Amino acid sequence: MDRSKYCCYHRSYGHMTEDCVHLKDAIEILIQKGYARKYVKNGEKETHEAQMAIEA
């Protein structure tokens, strides 16, 4: 296991949060259901604020 890569979503080592497919899928589901509407502009999937929330 690569201890230099940490995923905040899974709270475990192995891959970076930015590369987490499960997190991206979860965000996409929220967007499709309308829960993340305030973070979506002009067809963009995420704004800077949404990305910062993910990284927090």
- On whether residue 45 sits in a domain, the answer given is yes
- On whether residue 2 sits in a domain, the answer given is no
- On whether residue 8 sits in a domain, the answer given is no
Residues 6+ apart with CB under 8 A from 35: none
pLDDT tens digits, 1-56: 889 999 999 999 999 999 999 999 999 999 889 888 787 765 555 556 666 666 65
- On whether residue 12 sits in a domain, the answer given is no
Q: What is the pTM of this model?
A: 0.63
What pLDDT score does 29 carry? Answer: 93
- DSSP code for 6: E
Residue 43: domain span? 18-55
- On whether residue 10 sits in a domain, the answer given is no
Q: How many domains does the chain have?
A: 1
